[in-house]
Structure 1
Amino acid sequence: MSSPTVPGPPIPGGSGGGSGPGAGARTGVPAGSANPWRPPVGPSTPAWITATAARVPATPRLRVLGAAVGAGLFSAVLMAHGLGVNLLLFALAAAVPAALAARAGGRRVRPWTVTWVLAALVLAAVPALTDAGWPVFLAVTVALGVASLALHGGTRWAGVLLGPLGVWAHFLPSLFWAAGSARGRSYPAKAKVLPVLKAVLVAAVLLVVFGALFASADAAVADLLDGLTPSVDLSDLPARVVFFWGGLVVALGAAHTAAAPRRWDRLPVRPGRTRTRLEWAVPMVALNLLFGAFVAIQAVVFFGGYEAVMSKPGLVPAEYARQGFWQLLWVTVLTLVVVALAQHWAPRRTAGDRLLTKSLVGLLCALTVVVVATAYYRMQRYVGAFGLTRLRISVTAVELWLGVVLLLVLVGVVFGARRWLPRAVVLSAVVGVAVFGLIRPDAMIAEQNVARSEDGYSIDIGYLGGLSADAVPALDRLEGDLRSCALGRISESLADRDRSWYSTSLAEARAADILRGRPVGQDWPSACARSVLGTTSR
């Protein structure tokens, strides 16, 4: 979202913000008023705080507060027993007060705002599809960051990197913001309604306390009260209270951010001191030559026959592939750092300087893409020999994402990308996390290892038995003791769960159906003892 224009330093390279008609009149705060929820700005205030300071948020309207309370009640009712489609529904509920606050503040919806919101909703849908905790945690964490970025907006690197963290600073101030608004309002028939509400609340407390004491003292009274009162599991009450306040704080924090986001795009960043051609080009040429030599050697290995090279005496193929992958992963990461510093200090006075920068940085990015491909090929060889694990699929995903980032940087260096590159890089990470969760990595791990066992390879049942319910369809293809051992812990875990439809993932429901049709016996630990465990290295 964009925010109304306020006095402040200009944003280099443009801004993701915008102005809405009548924005200044909608703030609800007299001109010159101080914001009581942020530190005072004075001569000794750091420049970055002054430059990025948010405007004073408008007093929240009653419908904003009502929508936030509704989101809190929604959280209390649906979020206390696990994650599923309820997270997506809560995300939609929490977005309502934010949208109302943004509209009241005169902010306009931008295409990138819609993009970030849709990405956050897709990430929030991951728990509805997968049962594995690790991709769910990653998706939920990134979803919160993307939602924060949608509320802040941003085009520069400072905006898109700090925007995902900015919402955390709004949670506590939003409570005072809402409380101050609620206290200062005049409600219809307030003098008549408030005493009635207080009397009803006191009566309810007295009835609950003394009714519980009488019920514990006499069985007949207990039976009578049990028949008169609705069935409510009070053991869940503390958890539901916590979830109500958690949902309320999240919704209010989103609304407060939408009303007055900090302008991270205005963070002052000093341009790097340009170097001379010789000073800058010599290290870059040397690094390109080194990368070129490595790529040439890899081409010889690939076209000359990978198996022939791997059969050399003293060379262990597994160690070569595994260690080589980690080293090449670090090469990719460090190259991105080098590219960032090279762009920061690159000579840019003349057209020749700019052409030299594009050529050397672009060549380095292109060579590094080949390094990424080499690392990916090595990991695929290693996985083919020893099977897929969570660590291997995770680092492979990271390496592929780094390759995408390098391609984006390469295009940005060649064609210029001051505005779109920061958001494109962040969007590539968001899409990668969403895809990683939606493909259900535990299911892929189980499928690949079971397929290898069907081809005659050994299988590590102990490792596969620790996967989530996503793995059940693939593990169900195993026979005898192997199946019982692989599914034993998962079956017990599912049996201990009693969740509603909204807090159950599709993978969990499918696994439960499979295990009901072909249940695992109680003696599955004995089946594990009888099984011949594979020797797969993890």
Structure 2
Amino acid sequence: MSGLSSSAPADPPSVPGPYRTQGVPSPSPFSWLRPSDPDGKAGATPRIVLAALLAGLLTAWLLGDGVGVNLLICGATAAFAAGLAARAAGRRIRPWPVLWSALALALLAVPALWEAGWPVVLSTAWALALASLALHGGRRWPGVLLALPGILWQLGPGVLWALDGLHGRSLPGRGRIVPVLRAVAVAAVLLTVFGWLFASADAAMADVLNSLSPRVDLDRLPVRAILFAVGLLTALGFAHVAAGPRRWDRTVVRPGRARGRLEWALPLVALDLMFGAFAVIQAVVVLGGADAVLRNTGMSRSEYARQGFWQLSVITVLTLVVVAVAKRWAPRATPADRRVARILLGTLCVLALVVVVSALVRMWFYVDASGLTRLRLWVLVVEIWLGVVFALLITAGLTPTAGWLPRVVVLSAALTAAVYGLMGPDAMIAEQNVARFERTHRIDLRNVRDLSPDAVPALDRLPDVQRTCALQLIRTDLERHSEPWYATSRSAARAREILAARPLADSGGGGRNACEQAGLDLTLF
């Protein structure tokens, strides 16, 4: 990876951010470490602050009971505050920020669809990173990579920016806003009083009001206060970036000192030869030598696949590191030097694709023999993405310019995270294991018993004994947690409907007897 210099060029190039601007001053030394500062040092307007306060209130009000469609609502409110700031700064949206923003909203929709925790965490993290990239902009590697976590540098300065904007200002439209606030307060009091009376008079009405109203638990007020602070700081941080994004693309990256052709090329040639030998062996195995290899190693096909997959995955990641380091110190003084570097690195990337394919084939054999799990699905997805990255590197080496590469690599990672979250990993895992059971009448219930409610529709197709064992923990979890509508995913609601329509036929021990009948040793849990 390349390093960062401690000084900026005297006359840095004008690199556009996500919005078209004019008159952006040149950054001073170490400016990439400082938060963004809106052009003209104008503070936040009262409307921006009110929108950020609304985002904080919604975060405290809705997110305290879990995540679902409420995360999308809070994210849209923070985006609204950022839009007000961008409009106040007179900025115009460009195509790439629109793409990043659309992907961020798609990722925030994952909790509304699926219940599994890990995809929700991954999707939320990527949504925040893409929103930061959309507001900061970036074309070069420093601009793209530093913009992804850029919002973290804006949380504190965003508050100071808001206070500076409110200092000495009167609230605009006070004559219109104050009556509205009074009307809202009166309506809240009336709804509270009459709602309590109606709920006391009719049980059905009480259920409806309870499902629509957020829970108010005094013991959780500290948690609500923390959520309010998180929502407010995040909304102000995004608005601060929208008002004046830091130009991370102006970060100076010093090229590494070029090495001699021999000391640079010899290790790469040796590595290419080793990768080539591996590719030839894999071709022999695929063309009919697999049985001989398995006889010589004494392994089954699934053991052979499992034994090699993790090593090949590590090789794939290390190859990316080798390519980055070699590119930094490659000789580039003459066209011949650049041509040799392109050939050797391109050959290594092509052979790395063979390693990726071999790893995927091995994992496929392993899944076919033992079933799909969360870890196996996750590493499959990551390995596929690494293959896409190598394909992009090869394409960049064949094109005259590769200025598109940083943004497209990040786009491929974001799309991978979006597809992984939106496809419902737990539902896919359950579907694969159930389909395998329907073909072979074999299933390892340890692979599916601890899945989320996303897996219920597929596991519901199992015979009664296996179904009871597979769904018992999921049912217990659903009974223990009863979230309101805004914190409930679509899959959790569907799972409750399925289990209500076909209750589990427990036989003492909370499903233990069913698991023992299915041949599952519970001591493994």
Q: TM-score, normalised by structure 2?
A: 0.84
- Structure with bigger gyration radius: 1
Question: In structure 2, do the counterparts of structure 1 residues 114 and 520 end up closer, same or farther at CA, with 3 Å as the change threshold?
Answer: same
Cα-to-partner distance string for 1:480-529 (whole Å, 9 max, x where unaligned): 22111111111121122322332211111111111110012454233224
Q: What's the CA shift for 1:534?
A: 7.5
Task: Find out whether 1:108 has 2:92 as its counterpart.
Answer: yes
The Cα of 1:242 is off from its aligned counterpart by 3.5
Residue 346 (structure 1) aligns with: 330
User: Quick one: distance in 2 between partners of 1:115 and 1:189?
Assistant: 35
The residue identity in structure 2 corresponding to 1:20 is T
Change (3 A) 1:401 1:88: same
Picking from 28, 43, 63, the partner of 1:79 is 63
Where does 1:180-195 land on structure 2 (aligned, <5 Å)?
Answer: 180-187=164-171
Q: Which residue pairs with 1:468 in the alignment?
A: 452
The 3-state SS of whatever aligns with 1:336 is helix
Instruction: Mark the CA change 1:53 to 1:281 in structure 2 (over 3 Å): closer, same or farther.
Output: farther
Amino acid in the other structure paired with 1:165: P
SS at match of 1:273: coil
Offset at residue 418 of structure 1 (A): 3.6
Residue among 157, 180, 193 paired with 1:173: 157
Match of 1:533 among 517, 520, 523: 520
Q: Provide the residue aligned with 1:20 in structure 2.
A: 21
Equivalent of 2:473 in 470, 483, 489: 489
Q: Which amino acid aligns with 1:493?
A: D
Q: 1: distance between equivalents of 2:245 and 2:401?
A: 25
The answer as to whether partners of 2:371 and 2:444 remain within 8 angstroms in 1 is: no
Q: Distance in 1 between matches of 2:117 and 2:369?
A: 27
Given the alignment, which residue of 500, 506, 514 partners 2:484? 500
Q: How does 1:212-251 map to 2 (within 5 A)?
A: 234-235=216-217, 238=221, 239-251=223-235
2: CA distance, partners of 1:266 / 1:307: 57
1:387 alignment counterpart: 371
Matches of 1:279 and 1:390, distance apart in 2: 43
Alignment of 1:44-443 (within 5 A): 46=30, 48-49=32-33, 57-187=41-171, 234-235=216-217, 238=221, 239-312=223-296, 314-443=298-427
Q: For residue 79 of structure 1, give the secondary structure of its aligned residue in structure 2.
A: helix
Task: Select between 440-449 and 372-381 the one with higher mean Cα deviation.
Answer: 440-449
Q: Distance in 1 between matches of 2:325 and 2:36?
A: 25
Listed one character per residue, the Cα deviations across residues 446-496 of structure 1 (whole Å, up to 9, x for unaligned) are 111122222335322244111001111111111222111111111121122
Gap change, CA 1:49 and 1:94, over 3 Å in 2: closer
Q: Tell whether the 8 Å contact from 2:18 to 2:96 is kept in structure 1 after alignment.
A: no
Query: Residues of 2 paired with 1:185 and 1:51: CA distance?
Result: 24
Q: What CA distance in whole angstroms lies between the structure 2 residues aligned with 1:96 and 1:10?
A: 35
- Which segments of 5 or more consecutive residues in structure 1 lack a partner in the other structure? 1-6, 25-30, 33-40, 202-206, 208-221
Q: Name the stretch that deviates more: 455-464 or 489-498.
A: 455-464
Q: CA deviation at 1:417?
A: 4.3
Identity of aligned residues (%): 48
Residue 510 (1) aligns with residue 490 (2): no
Question: How far apart are the structure 2 equivalents of 1:424 and 1:464?
Answer: 35
Query: CA contact under 8 A between 1:459 and 1:534: conserved in structure 2?
Result: no
| 8 A Cα contact 1:48 1:268, kept in partner | no
CA RMSD in angstroms, aligned pairs only: 3.5
Structure 1 residue 57: Cα displacement? 4.3
Instruction: Report the CA distance shift for 1:350/1:53 in structure 2 as closer, same or farther (over 3 A).
Output: farther
Distance in structure 2 (CA, Å) of the matches to 1:189 and 1:375: 64
Residue pair 2:56, 2:232 contacting (<8 A) in 1 also: yes
Moved more, 509-518 or 413-422: 413-422
Alpha-carbon distance, 1:13 to partner: 9.8
Describe the SS at the equivalent of 2:440.
Answer: coil
Read off the aligned partner of 1:436 and give its amino acid letter: Y
Larger deviation: 136-145 or 181-190?
181-190
Matched-pair contact (CA < 8 Å) for 1:16–1:154? yes
Task: Give 1:47 deviation, angstroms.
Answer: 6.9
Aligned residue pairs total 490
Q: Is the 8 A contact 2:370 2:444 kept in 1?
A: no
Q: TM-score, normalised by structure 1?
A: 0.82
Q: Which runs of no fewer than 5 residues in structure 2 stay unpaired?
A: 1-7, 190-195, 202-208
Letter in 1 for 2:101: V
Change in Cα spacing, 1:49 to 1:306, as seen in structure 2 (3 Å) is same
Deviations 1:25-78 (A, max 9, x none): xxxxxx99xxxxxxxx99xx6475489887564211121112112222322333
Is the contact between residue 353 and residue 387 of structure 2 (CA under 8 Å) also seen in structure 1?
Answer: yes
Letter in 2 for 1:528: C
